Amino acid sequence: MEIQKKSISKASLQKLIEKLNANGRKIIAPVKKENLVEFGFISGLEQMAEDYILTNQSAKSAAFPKFEKLFSYEVTKNGITQSDSGNTEFPELVLLGVRPCDADGFTSLSAIFTWDYHDTQYTDRLNKTTLISISCSKCDDYCFCTSVDGHPGNTKGSDIQLTRLESGDYLAEIITEKGITVMNLAPELFANAPAVEKEKYLALVPSRFKAGEIAGKIKSLFENDIWIEQSLRCLGCGACAFVCPACACFDIQDESKGKNGIRLRCWDSCGFSLFTLHTSGHNPREVQSQRWRQRLMHKFSYMPERLDVLGCVGCGRCSRACPVDMNIMEHLINISEVQA
């Protein structure tokens, strides 16, 4: 559909939040938690963090929480009975202040969760979530969205995108039906858009490499030593995967207490050695370099190939979160430069 351009003042945005609350929607926005900016529930604009580049963790947990119950079961002599699967009522959520890269992350996730199997739990959650992104006026050395087909004002994945103008008002782009629904809760709060050049309010994120080229090249590097070289310092923790807005790997766990139990889905990471460990003790990805290769291959080769979408949005969270500075952008640049 055609993007509608509107504008909304700070005051109106505050009102909109109240309206949404009154409408029974929970609002999640970046808030300051000690020395981190994370997503959290807010009831007023004042609770929202000021001038942040990105939240520490991505917004993915709105539709793909770090763990979630899939169903309950009961084991008795007469067999196993399964209950409350797929009938959980998810709340209506509004994600306010997500960055375009985060919003775009849901594109990657959705591609995975609706690929061969339609994951209702994920899609139900996402359908109940409205994404109001705020375009980036600032970036840091870790940002590289522009190298992976992204953009500080990228509207892909957002339902509404706000761009802050010098007046303090926001340029509001209404992108999807969901966006319109939100706007229609209080149309009076939305004024007509001033004639402004959106670009001029956006951060300049230099393009470091071309994702397309990487995708083409990386396959030929499967046996290359670059993976060992790059991952020598890698600890094999899951920090990168868990803060990543596009990482979708999960583990299924049953937790039983006597006859009752629940089945859970929990985040998992291809960086863990346990991820591919066989019962026999054999591990097809025996060392960290192979796991690191898998991570990049998956994001830049397998996903584009099979799902026609990149597994990376260039937010740079993994690099920020990494305890040993595994800077993904830097690594991708080497890859783009290495001779196959």
- Applying CB under 8 A, which residues contact another protein? 26, 28, 34-36, 38-41, 56-57, 61-62, 65-69, 75-77, 88, 90-91, 93, 141-142, 228, 231-233, 235-239, 241-243, 251, 253, 255, 257-260, 262, 264, 266-267, 269, 272, 274, 280-282, 286-289, 321, 323-325, 327, 330
CB of 17 to another protein, least distance (A): 16
335 CB neighbour count, 10 Å cutoff: 21
Rank residues 34 and 188 by Cβ distance to another protein and give the closer one. Answer: 34
CB of 111 to another protein, least distance (A): 22
**In the block, which residue shows the tokens 């504008």?**
7
Residue 333: which H helix or E strand, with range?
A: helix 328-337
Rank residues 67 and 115 by Cβ distance to another protein and give the closer one. Answer: 67
CB of 149 to another protein, least distance (A): 22
Straight-line distance from the first to the last Cα atom of the chain, in angstroms, rounded to the nearest whole number: 43
CB of 326 to another protein, least distance (A): 9
Nearest one of 264, 238, 236, 235 to 252, comparing CA atoms:
264
Rank residues 26 and 219 by Cβ distance to another protein and give the closer one. Answer: 26
Nearest one of 151, 129, 140 to 59, comparing CA atoms:
129
Rank residues 168 and 258 by Cβ distance to another protein and give the closer one. Answer: 258
Q: Quick one: angle between helices 120-127 and 100-113, nearest 10?
A: 150
**Alpha helix locations (H) across 62-167?**
100-113, 120-127
CB of 339 to another protein, least distance (A): 19
| Contact between 45 and 10 (Cβ < 8 Å) | yes
265 CB neighbour count, 10 Å cutoff: 19
The amino acid that residue 270 corresponds to is: C
Rank residues 15 and 251 by Cβ distance to another protein and give the closer one. Answer: 251
CB of 95 to another protein, least distance (A): 9
| C-alpha–C-alpha distance, residues 204 and 217, integer Å | 27
Nearest-5° angle of CA 2, CA 27, CA 164?
55
The amino acid that residue 308 corresponds to is: D
8-state DSSP, 221: G
Rank residues 16 and 241 by Cβ distance to another protein and give the closer one. Answer: 241
CB of 245 to another protein, least distance (A): 14
Radius of gyration of the CA atoms of the chain, in A: 21
CB of 145 to another protein, least distance (A): 17
CB of 180 to another protein, least distance (A): 24
| Contact between 129 and 194 (Cβ < 8 Å) | no
Rank residues 191 and 287 by Cβ distance to another protein and give the closer one. Answer: 287
Rank residues 200 and 257 by Cβ distance to another protein and give the closer one. Answer: 257
| C-alpha–C-alpha distance, residues 211 and 265, integer Å | 31
Rank residues 6 and 265 by Cβ distance to another protein and give the closer one. Answer: 265
| C-alpha–C-alpha distance, residues 328 and 326, integer Å | 6
